[in-house]
Amino acid sequence: MFKKISLIGKILLLILAINTSFLFAQEISEAGNKLLKEIDRNLTPESFESLKKIINIEPNGTEKEFVLFVLKKGNDKMVTTFLSPKSEVGRSTLRLDENMWLYIPNVGKPMRITSLQSVIGGIFNNSDIMQLDYTSEYDVIEMVDEEGEKVLTLQAKTFNVAYDQLKMWVNVEHKTPSKIECYTPSGMLIKTLHFKEIKDFGNGIIRPSVLETDSPLHKDYKAVMIYANIKPRKIDDEVFTLNYMDKIKDLRE
């Protein structure tokens, strides 16, 4: 007959189980965050310029297009300016960490905007348009294998980001997202981002060139973001200031 485990023995076993579970979760988090850093660098260089088109598509098929010139430096600085349509030329947006501003020619000083607003309307919000590195905003809390892809669950580091939690499916060959689901703190799905058409942009950048989104909150509305080019570029910190927002269009090479 086996002797009954003493109360102290039960406590020790419980402590061992808790410690083992904690260490396993820590290993998953470290491996997941390492992969997320690779994903960030595969999507964009640390400092770069880009040209992209955004198309808002309404349920009746009506489309409205915007072309933006984008500059980004580090994991907390991004500025964009509109090249078209003509009515939007000169409008610029600036993001410094979690803070965002919109500059409109002839209006005066830049005005504060939020991540959940959209300077172009449609489903893409300001956070989507001015996306920083994922590692600057999220920690990986879970990583699993699913049908040939890695699936990461990302938890926001602060309450100030657009989405409390992301579920990211990762193309293991290119180490870039193939799909991202965006959730509220209550677990409600806000939108799904679909990454498509892998393209070689040069300089070692091989990533999806098309980003499509749909949302259960905006039935039958869609939006598409198309990257025409992405290339490394050294950029002075002065460019990412409120006083420089009216000059961004002049930096296009």
Question: Contact, 57 vs 42, CB < 8 A?
Answer: no
Average pLDDT over residues 167-179: 96
Q: Which distant-in-sequence residues (6+ apart) come within 8 Å of 129 by Cβ?
A: 54, 68, 80, 93, 118, 119, 120, 225
pLDDT of residue 1: 41
How many other C-beta atoms can be found within 10 angstroms of the C-beta atom of residue 134?
Answer: 22
Question: Contact, 65 vs 84, CB < 8 A?
Answer: yes
Return the CATH number of 39-251, one of 3.30.310.50, 3.40.190.10, 3.90.1640.30, 2.50.20.10.
Answer: 2.50.20.10
Instruction: Give the pTM.
Output: 0.86
Tell whether the model's pLDDT for residue 23 goes beyond 50. Answer: no
pLDDT of residue 159: 87
Query: Token pair of 80, please?
Result: 């964009």
The pLDDT confidence band at residue 21, using thresholds 50, 70 and 90, is very low
Tell whether the model's pLDDT for residue 90 goes beyond 60. Answer: yes
pLDDT digits (tens, 9 = 90+) for 232-249: 999 999 999 999 999 999
pLDDT digits (tens, 9 = 90+) for 188-234: 999 999 999 999 999 999 999 999 999 999 999 999 999 999 999 99
What is the percentage of the chain residues whose pLDDT exceeds 90?
Answer: 81
pLDDT of residue 57: 97
More confident residue, 2 or 124: 124
pLDDT of residue 148: 86
How many other C-beta atoms can be found within 10 angstroms of the C-beta atom of residue 44?
Answer: 21
pLDDT digits (tens, 9 = 90+) for 97-113: 999 999 999 887 899 99
Distance of CA 175 to the CA centre of its chain: 15
Tell whether the model's pLDDT for residue 27 goes beyond 70. Answer: no
Q: Distance of CA 83 to CAs 90, 189, 197, 248, Å?
A: 7, 32, 24, 11
Distance, CA of 191 to CA of 86 (rounded, Å): 29
Distance, CA of 21 to CA of 59 (rounded, Å): 48
The pLDDT confidence band at residue 160, using thresholds 50, 70 and 90, is confident
Tell whether the model's pLDDT for residue 153 goes beyond 50. Answer: yes
Q: Helices in 44-114 by DSSP H: which ranges?
A: none
Q: Which distant-in-sequence residues (6+ apart) come within 8 Å of 185 by Cβ?
A: 164, 165
By CB neighbour count within 10 A (0-12 exposed, 13-18 middle, 19+ buried), where does 154 fall? buried
Question: Contact, 119 vs 93, CB < 8 A?
Answer: yes
